[in-house]
Amino acid sequence: MDPLLIVIAATVLMAVFSVVSGTLGLRPGDDSHQIETRLRAFRPGSEGPVARTEDKIARLKQRSYSGFPVLSAFLAQFKGSEKVALQLERAGLPLRVGEYYMIRWGVAALFFVLPLVFAQSLLMLLVAAGAGLVGYMVPAFWISAKRKGRMTRNNAQLGEMLGLVSNSLKSGYGLMQSFEFAAKQMQPPLALELRRMLREANLGLSAEDSLNAMGERIDSKDLDMVLIAINIQRTVGGNLAEILDQVASTMRERERIRGEIVTLTSQQKMTGIVIGGLPVMMFLIFMVMNPGYMSLLFTEMAGRVMLAMSVGLEFLGYLTIKRIMAIEI
Residues 134 and 205 placed together within one structural domain of the fold:
no
Q: If residue 239 lies in a helix (H) or strand (E), which one and from where to where? A: none
Residues 239 and 228 placed together within one structural domain of the fold:
yes
Residues 236 and 284 placed together within one structural domain of the fold:
no
pLDDT band at 198, cuts 50/70/90? very high
Q: Which of 253, 275, 300 is at the close of a domain?
A: 253
Calpha distance 110→105 (Å, rounded) = 9
288-321 pLDDT, tens digit per residue, is: 888 888 888 888 888 888 888 988 888 888 888 8
Number of structural domains found in the chain = 3
- The whole domain housing 121 covers 3-151
Residues 285 and 212 placed together within one structural domain of the fold:
no
Confirm if 68 and 98 have CB atoms less than 8 A apart: yes
Residues 124 and 10 placed together within one structural domain of the fold:
yes
CATH code, domain carrying 215:
1.20.81
Residues 121 and 180 placed together within one structural domain of the fold:
no
Residues 47 and 98 placed together within one structural domain of the fold:
yes
Residues 166 and 220 placed together within one structural domain of the fold:
yes
Confirm if 65 and 26 have CB atoms less than 8 A apart: no
Amino acid at 84: V
Q: Which of 111, 135, 151 is at the close of a domain?
A: 151
Q: Report the SS3 class of residue 242.
A: helix
pLDDT reported for residue 26: 40
Residues 227 and 124 placed together within one structural domain of the fold:
no
Calpha distance 227→285 (Å, rounded) = 55
CA gyration radius, the chain? 26
> Is the C-alpha dihedral spanning 224, 225, 226, 227 positive or negative?
positive
209-243 pLDDT, tens digit per residue, is: 888 889 888 888 888 888 888 888 888 877 888 88
251-291 pLDDT, tens digit per residue, is: 888 888 888 888 888 887 888 888 888 888 888 898 888 88
Residues 125 and 199 placed together within one structural domain of the fold:
no
DSSP state of 204: T
pTM recorded for the entire structure: 0.65
Confirm if 154 and 197 have CB atoms less than 8 A apart: no
pLDDT reported for residue 191: 92
Report whether pLDDT(29) > 80. no
Residues 229 and 264 placed together within one structural domain of the fold:
no
Confirm if 320 and 312 have CB atoms less than 8 A apart: no
Q: Which of 253, 287, 315 is at the close of a domain?
A: 253
Residues 210 and 146 placed together within one structural domain of the fold:
no
